[in-house]
Structure 1
Amino acid sequence: MTKWRWRKELLSERRRVPASVRFAEAMSLSSHLTGGRVVFPGQTVCAFVPIASEPGSVQMLDDLNDYGARVLLPIVTGNGPLEWSFYAGRDALRPGPYGLREPIGEVLGTSALRIADLVLVPALAVDRNGVRLGRGAGHYDQSLPLASNGTEIVAVVRDQEIFEELPSEPHDVRMTAVLTPNRGLLRFV
């Protein structure tokens, strides 16, 4: 099956998930992140503001801040790598391209990814080899190589969105782990 077909089917499945289930999953993801096994106070976490039916929530970002992590969010500028800015709360977000919400603070540039201890990456699915299926714009595949060696790169998906094998291309950046609501953090060997 092609990437396009995978995206279409996965997005259709996500749209059918009730809001109450998405809310419970978001709270579970937040609990995994701040429970002392994934993120630690003082670390820098690159995250994202979920859109539509993506797993997670703005509350998860608030919880990370309250836990003592520094949270960076992406800013889309053109077709290149993502820029980054610190998350300063939900009132400090503005509309961005693709229906995203972006921070209004100082833009730190593409190299800010180098200070991340952990990068949470939105994904439609991931396979057991760390192949991530995104929405297809390529911003993360251009950005993730800028992270420092050893940085944990984690796809965030629903439990049902882990597959045996997904289509991949040479430019696809492999994830080092996946975070799901019920399983928590699973590292790829």
Structure 2
Amino acid sequence: MVHEDVWQRKKLLRREALACRRSLSAQTNRAFSEAIEERLKELDACRKAKTFFAFAAMSDEVQLYSLIEKALVEGKRVALPLIVGKGVMEAVRVRALSDLAPGAFDIPTVREDRREIVDPKSFDCVLVPGAAFSRTGARLGLGAGFYDRFLSEKAPQAQRIAVAFSCQLMEDIPVEAHDVKMQWIVTEKERIVCR
């Protein structure tokens, strides 16, 4: 009964947050994404990272392509998600943005002939997308558990940095035992240290 109530609350919050994210025009998304990338570049956990896990965004998510490109030019090792099964993802190294192709759920990933699996234990930080976040670090994903499993089982040592638009911040997000909390949240307006 309690689990069902939490599930319903999460479903409603997810719908509300995703509607807000989708309501941003392409121009606003681009401007906000650029502001977020600038804030990420100033964050020590990102700036000093030698190896990090990012994401190739869906069209309504924060776009990190400029940040990824800059990191590659600087010689950093960057990996992106590769969906390999139900709720399971691996990390694949990206050497150039031209290596990207549509993957599972139409989310870009490294094309098959260029894939090199990266050990998640080598990540200094993970940039985490989601539907909604609270200032205390609670994250509401899209419901499949990919990031919760990945972060807790494969990359527990990495700094967890949520990347979102300010409209995705919610006062209270229900949390279950398996939900992994964020350490930072970066929006177009601010950097939040989660407590």
TM-score, structure 2 normalization: 0.86
Distance (Å, rounded) in 2 between the aligned partners of 1:2 and 1:158 = 21
Cα drift, residue 67 of structure 1? 3.6
Indicate if the aligned counterparts of 2:84 and 2:90 stay in contact, CA closer than 8 A: yes
* Cα distance change, pair 67–34 in 1 and its aligned pair in 2 (3 A): farther
Displacement of 1:6:
1.2
Q: Which runs of 5+ in 1 are unaligned?
A: none
Q: For 1:41 and 1:5, locate their aligned partners in 2 and report how far apart those are by CA, in whole Å.
A: 37
Q: Which residue of 2 is the match for residue 113 of structure 1?
A: 120
1:150-187 superposed Cα distances (whole Å, 9 cap, x missing partner): x210111111222221012111111111111221x322
Q: How many residues align?
A: 185
Query: Is the Cα–Cα contact under 8 Å of residues 87 and 144 in structure 2 kept in the other structure?
Result: no
Question: Helix, strand or coil: the match of 2:144?
Answer: coil
Matched, 1:74 2:74: no
1:22 and 2:29 are equivalent in the alignment: yes
Tell me what 2:193 maps to.
187
Of 125, 149, 153, the residue aligned with 1:142 is 149
The answer to whether the Cα contact below 8 Å between 2:20 and 2:168 also exists between their aligned partners in 1 is no
Q: Normalising by structure 1, what TM-score?
A: 0.89
Residue identity over aligned pairs, in percent, reads: 28
Secondary structure of 2:19's counterpart equals helix
SS at 1:86 equivalent: strand
For 1:87 and 1:132, the matched residues in 2 are separated by: 26
Shift of 1:38: 4.1
SS state of the match for residue 170, structure 1?
A: coil
CA 1:66–1:107 in structure 2 vs 1: closer, same or farther (change >3 Å)? Answer: closer
Pick which of 25-34 and 42-51 moved more.
Answer: 25-34
CA contact (8 A) 1:46 1:71 kept: yes
Structure with the bigger percentage of helix? 2
CA-to-aligned-CA distance 1:125-153 (integer Å, 9 cap, x gap)? 1112211011111111110012143x210
Hey, what's the Cα distance between the residues in 1 that align with 2:77 and 2:89?
18
Paired letter, 1:186: I
1:91-140 per-residue CA deviation (whole Å, 9 max, x = no partner) reads 1011111111111333416xx21111110011111112211011111111
Residue 84 of structure 1 and its aligned partner are, at CA, apart by 0.9
Mapped contact 2:131–2:141 kept (Cα < 8 A): yes
Give me the whole-angstrom Cα distance separating, in 2, the residues matched to 1:160 and 1:42: 28
Confirm or deny that 1:48 pairs with 2:48: no
**What root-mean-square deviation, in Å, do the aligned CA atoms of Structure 1 and Structure 2 show?**
1.8
User: Distance between the aligned counterparts of 1:188 and 1:40, measured in 2?
Assistant: 19
Gaps spanning 5+ residues in structure 2: where? 1-7
